[in-house]
Amino acid sequence: MNQQSGIEPIYILKEGTSRTRGHEARAMNVAAAKAVSNAVRSTLGPNGMDKMLVDGLGDVIITNDGATILKEMDIEHPAAKMIVEVAKTQDEETGDGTTTAVVIAGELLKQADELLSQEIHPTTICEGYYAAAKYAKEVLSEIAFPVKPENKKILTSIAETALTSRISETAKNAFCDMIVQAVSLVAEKDGKINPDHIKMVQKVGGSIQDSMVVHGMVIDKERVHSDMPKEVKYAKILLLNVALELKKPELNATIQINSLGEEQAFIDEEIRMIRKMAEVIIASGANVVFCQKGIDDIAQGYLAKAGILAVRRVKKSDMDNLARATGGKVLNTIKTINRMDLGSADLVIEKKIAGEEMIQISGCKNPKAVSIIIHGGTTHVVDELERSLHDTLMVVADTISNKKAVSGGGSIEIELSLRLMKYAARQGGRTQLAIEAFARALEIIPKTLAENSGYDTIDVLVGLKKSHEEGRVSYGLDVFTGTPADMKKYGVVEPLKVKIQSIMSATEAAVMILRIDDVVASSKTGEGGGPEGMGGMPPGMPPGMGGY
């Protein structure tokens, strides 16, 4: 716009659109990202606190899981959403380390903000951060120690580290044993594990100590006929993906019956066809039938008379897991049933679990799918237990498939920080400053563990750095004494994959935000505003989130 030359101002953006550029845009985005990081920081570590989240309908969630907190906070600011994506990606990839990734991302941006104030170009900072992350990944691979899938002690320690602060100490050991047992059972020969093969069943009632692993499956169904047996020992299980009833015509059809005899003949033919289906099943030797589709009333009667327990309309995912658990095969026809297609289990029983009738298939030999029944006093308790157990399941699975782990308690972050400082000195130039900033940012993890446990952060960092300079790589913060301790010896260990993913995700998010120098935000429907160049903040900066 040049008024002196008489040129009219030109507006290229729609009225009401706001635009923020340069340092102001970066500062605003960094402030939003730091606010998100600070929102979950107090949940980190064994002494981390929980958050109570209440939605618009009044539903309450109580959790200290970083991914769940950020998901339920309904954040709108675009830069803050990028940090939420970090937690989402971390949770999907590894199941744990979400809070660590978000806290590191926030601290990387805080350190970058200080470099920007010294007029160091964002591109230089980004280059330094990428170089530091790459070097950190190399160091992590170097100092990680191998874990054999059959080493139940290490796997249990990894499970305990993931569960610490989430459930009571009295129940933690039992749950760790359950998770390790379940993951070990469903693991493939190559170490790969599909979490969907471990079904978690929530039941409100009883105490969390009543939770248990079933070497088989628990199906949220009941018998189709009251005359069928409630309990079958040494079960021979038939899995069907075909309806035990006559198909209805796909097109509208009319059947003309001229006499009572014809009507009876029609009914008799229907009964004969259904009886034939039932006889094929009875002849197969099966005494338990799980059907993915419907079972006709007449077929139910024949099966009940033969002492067969039948369940209908079982979900496809449950049918697949039943096949893996029992060793059976899901059949798409009943014309020919081979005895080799039948699965087996020591016991199939209909029983009440927390007041609801369910079918429990247990005693399966070498099951490749299992169930965990989670008990708790309230819905909030069992919901948080399931989230915690899912994360723990994922980290144990990560360890078995990746076969490497590292010590926890902030030990890895301190070691990386010290090594990055030495690495930075070898690089020189302004990139050195960015790498040093990355190194300082990693110290946020032991600092946060100290803060959440009520210890002085300076004393803790000095003690940890002294231990690591003396070569004690696995020394981290003992949150119960406030002193350095050997985390590996105390069983505070984490999967290597979780650590690498958290650092790489945090770096990528921080770099993406730092590279933004122009924010153009359209006005919301019905809102007014000024012309291009008026500045302003993108819509959705949450109040109380530490806005710029």
Residues belonging to the active site: 65, 98-99, 391
H-helix or E-strand spanning residue 355: none
> Phi and psi (nearest 5°) for 19?
-140, 130
The C-alpha atoms of residue 458 and residue 456 are separated, in whole angstroms, by 6
The pair of three-digit structure tokens given for residue 15, joined into one six-digit string: 């009225």
DSSP type of residue 370: E
Q: C-alpha distances in angstroms, 254 versus 199, 240, 245, 246, 250?
A: 46, 30, 19, 16, 12
DSSP type of residue 334: S
The C-alpha atoms of residue 391 and residue 374 are separated, in whole angstroms, by 15
Contacts of 420 (CB under 8 A, 6+ apart): 132, 135, 136, 435, 436, 438, 439, 442
The C-alpha atoms of residue 294 and residue 392 are separated, in whole angstroms, by 37
The C-alpha atoms of residue 14 and residue 94 are separated, in whole angstroms, by 43
Write b or e for each residue in 508-539: b if 16 or more Cβ atoms lie within 10 A of its Cβ, otherwise e: bbbbbbbebeebebebeeeeebebbeeebbbe
The C-alpha atoms of residue 544 and residue 548 are separated, in whole angstroms, by 11
Contacts of 253 (CB under 8 A, 6+ apart): none
The C-alpha atoms of residue 545 and residue 39 are separated, in whole angstroms, by 8
The C-alpha atoms of residue 294 and residue 314 are separated, in whole angstroms, by 9
* Residue type, position 175, single letter: F
Tally: H helices and E strands in the chain: 17, 19
Only one residue has tokens 């039943």, namely: 322
DSSP type of residue 212: E
The pair of three-digit structure tokens given for residue 201, joined into one six-digit string: 């069943």
